[in-house]
Amino acid sequence: MSKRPIYMDHAATSPLREEVLEAMLPYLQDKYGNPSSLHSPGREAREAVNEAREKTARALGADPKEIFFTSGGTEANNIAIKGTARRQKKKGHLITSSIEHHAVLDVCKELAAEGFQVTFLPVDRYGMVSLETIKRALTPDTFLISIMTANNEVGTIEPVAEIGALARERGILFHTDAVQAVGQIPINVREMNIDLLSLSAHKFNGPKGVGALYARRGVSLEPLYRGGGQERKLRPGTENVAGIVGLGRALELAVEEMPEKSRRQQELRDRLIEGLLGMGDVVLNGHPSARLPGNVNVSFNYIEGEALLLGLDLEGIAASSGSACTSGSLEPSHVLRAMGLEEQLARGSLRLTLGRGNSDADVDYLLAVMGPLVERLRRMSALYPRQN
């Protein structure tokens, strides 16, 4: 078995597709016009941005006027949450979950420091937010609920449509960080009663540095920056034309190929999960069925995640872990801790996220490498029970 490079960290970022690069290239070379210019190069760029806006809207079941391009998921989350908060007459109440990405969590913490009331909802052992806990958290001052569509670490898919219906019924805005979900699972902002949604192109084989915010018509948002009239003043600054074109093309392709891709990835995912659980003293993190098609997250008892990643990397496999030691912080994953996973298991977590390029052979190789590596690290571990 020869060492070969395998990328299983698609939740971190995914490779740019050839077709997407082709669509982008003209706008990095000959078609360099500024979409705000009146002349023909400008109009050409404007048309490309409009077309990407239409594609993005179509993928979400939205209107093109409701799509605002940003520099990525983080900016979209910031505009959505701060943007609604700043338009409130008083410092009201917002609800989020304790397993959000930091691009939501830390924005909410910032608002809390400014005097807003913030509820960070608990989740169950699968990382699922319940409608009941949301209902209990509601106050007459609640103006926003922000719950991610699917979790980036454990892949749990949240009951977004139910939350949307509840929020709509109560007249509360509903934002969802769908960075991990867009292009992976079907989303329709109308059917799901979503008011605000964040997405990022590089998670679905698009370019880095570009994302979008969907904001339902009528939702009032305060921009983060002042500047020109781009993105209807919500996100001023000359458009990242090539990036936006890439986002539109990548999303179009992702949605088109979703049924087949998700079926394939689920097969690979389930084979990986089965193989890893078979190694013993391994637990699955996240929901067994309400789970992103490409997400595998398991914890190995007695092993530290960073050591596991290092071992895999030496065999050519790129993966990720919720271990503290991988992030440079001292605390293991806030997501795994919120799910009630004990610290040692949280530190021994391994995330494998599949993408278009992964094959059955990759799964075979990973499982073949994993067995001896786990065995070796456990024998080395001060916590591993004596074998004799």
Q: Is 325 considered catalytic here?
A: yes
d(CA 9, CA 322): 13
- What is the smallest separation between the CB atom of 330 and other proteins, expressed in angstroms? 5
Q: Is residue 384 at the binding interface for other proteins, with CB under 8 A as the rule?
A: yes
- What is the smallest separation between the CB atom of 311 and other proteins, expressed in angstroms? 8
Whether 279 contacts 301, CB under 8 Å: no
Q: Between 354 and 383, how does the x/- string for binding to other proteins read (CB under 8 A)?
A: -------------------------xxxxx
Which of residues 247 and 317 has its CB atom nearest to other proteins in the complex?
A: 317
Backbone φ, ψ for residue 172 (5° rounding): -110, 145
d(CA 47, CA 53): 10
Q: Is residue 344 at the binding interface for other proteins, with CB under 8 A as the rule?
A: yes
- What is the smallest separation between the CB atom of 362 and other proteins, expressed in angstroms? 22
- Only one of the segments 85-93, 120-128, 251-259, 304-312 lies at the binding site for other proteins (rule: CB under 8 A); that segment is 304-312
Which of residues 218 and 328 has its CB atom nearest to other proteins in the complex?
A: 328
Which of residues 322 and 332 has its CB atom nearest to other proteins in the complex?
A: 332
Active-site position among 25, 28, 325, 367: 325
Per-residue exposure over 188-218, b if at least 16 CB sit within 10 Å of its own CB, e if not:
ebeebbbbbbbbbbbbbbbbbbbbbbbbbee
Which of residues 100 and 304 has its CB atom nearest to other proteins in the complex?
A: 304
Query: What SS3 class is residue 371?
Result: helix
Which of residues 34 and 327 has its CB atom nearest to other proteins in the complex?
A: 327
- What is the smallest separation between the CB atom of 382 and other proteins, expressed in angstroms? 4
Count of residues touching other proteins (by CB under 8 A): 26
Whether 73 contacts 199, CB under 8 Å: yes
- Only one of the segments 97-105, 216-224, 271-279, 306-314 lies at the binding site for other proteins (rule: CB under 8 A); that segment is 306-314
Picking from 98, 101, 159, the residue whose alpha carbon sits closest to that of residue 131 is 159
Q: Which of residues 243-302 bind other proteins (CB under 8 A)?
A: 302
**The binder of other proteins chosen from 310, 316, 337, 367 (CB under 8 A):** 310
**The binder of other proteins chosen from 94, 179, 292, 303 (CB under 8 A):** 303
Q: Is residue 28 at the binding interface for other proteins, with CB under 8 A as the rule?
A: no
**The binder of other proteins chosen from 131, 277, 314, 361 (CB under 8 A):** 314
**The binder of other proteins chosen from 216, 306, 318, 367 (CB under 8 A):** 306
- What is the smallest separation between the CB atom of 307 and other proteins, expressed in angstroms? 5
- What is the smallest separation between the CB atom of 2 and other proteins, expressed in angstroms? 17
Tokens representing 233 are 């003043």
Q: Is residue 304 at the binding interface for other proteins, with CB under 8 A as the rule?
A: yes
Query: What SS3 class is residue 345?
Result: helix
Q: Which of residues 323-342 bind other proteins (CB under 8 A)?
A: 323-326, 328, 330, 332
Query: What SS3 class is residue 267?
Result: helix
Tokens representing 381 are 């571990």
- What is the smallest separation between the CB atom of 379 and other proteins, expressed in angstroms? 7
Picking from 316, 302, 309, the residue whose alpha carbon sits closest to that of residue 377 is 302
Which of residues 289 and 388 has its CB atom nearest to other proteins in the complex?
A: 388
- What is the smallest separation between the CB atom of 352 and other proteins, expressed in angstroms? 19
Q: Is 200 left (phi over 0), alpha (psi -120 to 50) or beta?
A: beta
d(CA 226, CA 377): 53
C-alpha dist (Å) from residue 68 to 16, 71, 107, 329: 22, 10, 19, 34
Which of residues 210 and 308 has its CB atom nearest to other proteins in the complex?
A: 308
* Binding stretches for other proteins (CB under 8 A): 302-307, 310-311, 314, 323-326, 328, 330, 332, 343-344, 347, 379-384, 386
- Annotated catalytic residues are 325
